[in-house]
Amino acid sequence: MTSIDVKDLTKEYGTTRAVDDLTFSVRPGRVTGFLGPNGAGKSTTMRLVLGLDRPTSGTATLDGLYYAELAEPLRHVGALLDAQAAHGSRTARNHLLALAVSNRLPARRVDEVLDESGLTSVAGRRIKTFSLGMRQRLGIAAALLGDPEIVMLDEPSNGLDPEGIIWIRELMRRLAAEGRTVLVSSHLMNETATFADHLVVLGRGKLLADDPMNEFIASHSRARARVRTTDPDRLRELLSDRGYVLGEPVEGRWTVDGAKAEEIGVLASGAGVQVLELADEQTSLEEAYLALTADEAEFRAPTVPASRQEA
């Protein structure tokens, strides 16, 4: 089986350390989400894996081989890095045919990937007339041309319409179910939560997390429960004795930070307080990610102190 292995990888551009002593592996049979703030080093890592840049030190290999050592690379690795890169005056079909011929792939694959990417009806159009979403689809079609075991996609949902976003999600799930190795970078956390099984998170070129999705969310979440009661004053007193705050209700429900539903349930029933609804609130991937990367963003809008926000 094929995996991507990044080992002690460092890449410096002048004084910028884009990738900083990074070690992780991407395994087959699952979709690995590749996350991190702007400038964290995701694209640089992908470029190093594809041999498009030379590492300052360390290695990035595919099943033990450098990309340049692969005899017919497109049969092993398909990648979408920059959807704008295709030659604009060519038609979509000719662009894919040129890629197929130069990589000794059968021409029938061109029609297959055009069909798979929903581009058959526009295959004869020049790429320069394509929308961003159509270019993304073409870039993904090119990545799939060699029926590769490894697929690396940098921000594949970029520019896609809602139908396209569902298509790419289902495509990635299918590729992983077929046993392929799928690495996908994204800034869209809600989106990533729908397709990734595993996460690799970078911050300033360093590895911040390499965990299954559910473990990642669990380890970066804080307990929080939602409750509906007929006696909020009494429940407030009970919670306050334990150090919790019952604030203002939203649509008749109170949220209690730091508390688990179970604890509130026991407390309320012990005091005879009627509870009409009680549940743990799930932390979203976005909340967990922001909790982890809060200090890691290279570019961030300056925050205004709370006391000055209303001035």
Ligand X SMILES: Nc1ncnc2c1ncn2[C@@H]1O[C@H](COP(=O)(O)OP(=O)(O)OP(=O)(O)O)[C@@H](O)[C@H]1O
Q: Are strands 77-80 and 150-154 parallel, antiparallel or unpaired?
A: parallel
Contacts with ligand X by CB under 6 A: the residue count is 11
CB of 269 to ligand X, least distance (A): 49
| Given 13, 242, 247, 276, the residue binding ligand X (CB under 6 A) | 13
Of residues 53 and 149, the one with the C-beta less far from ligand X: 53
The C-alpha atoms of residue 85 and residue 90 are separated, in whole angstroms, by 12
Q: How far is CA 194 from CA 31, 69, 112, 157, 241, in A?
A: 10, 35, 26, 13, 39
CB of 160 to ligand X, least distance (A): 17
| Binding of ligand X by 153 (CB under 6 A) | no
| Binding of ligand X by 16 (CB under 6 A) | yes
Per the structure block, which two tokens stand in for 235? Answer: 């429940």
| Binding of ligand X by 73 (CB under 6 A) | no
CB of 35 to ligand X, least distance (A): 9
Per the structure block, which two tokens stand in for 117? Answer: 């990417």
The C-alpha atoms of residue 220 and residue 222 are separated, in whole angstroms, by 7
The C-alpha atoms of residue 51 and residue 45 are separated, in whole angstroms, by 10
Site string for ligand X, 18-57 (x = CB under 6 A): x-----------------x-xxxxxxx-------------
Report the site for ligand X in 254-283 (rule: CB under 6 A): none
Q: Measured at the alpha carbon of residue 160, what is the angle toward residues 157 and 162, in degrees to the nearest 5?
A: 105
The C-alpha atoms of residue 149 and residue 172 are separated, in whole angstroms, by 12
CB of 63 to ligand X, least distance (A): 23
| Binding of ligand X by 84 (CB under 6 A) | no
Of residues 229 and 293, the one with the C-beta less far from ligand X: 293
- Phi, psi dihedrals of residue 183, rounded to the nearest 5°: -120, 125
CB of 61 to ligand X, least distance (A): 19
Of residues 44 and 117, the one with the C-beta less far from ligand X: 44
CB of 299 to ligand X, least distance (A): 8
Of residues 110 and 152, the one with the C-beta less far from ligand X: 152
- The secondary element (H helix, E strand) that includes residue 238 is helix 232-241
| Binding of ligand X by 196 (CB under 6 A) | no
Q: How far is CA 87 from CA 135, 158, 283, in A?
A: 11, 19, 43
CB of 308 to ligand X, least distance (A): 29
| Binding of ligand X by 204 (CB under 6 A) | no
Strand residues in the chain grouped as ranges (E): 4-13, 16-26, 30-35, 57-62, 77-80, 150-154, 181-185, 198-203, 206-212, 224-229, 254-257, 275-280
Of residues 105 and 184, the one with the C-beta less far from ligand X: 184
Residues lying near ligand X in the complex (CB under 6 A) are found at 13, 16, 18, 36, 38-44
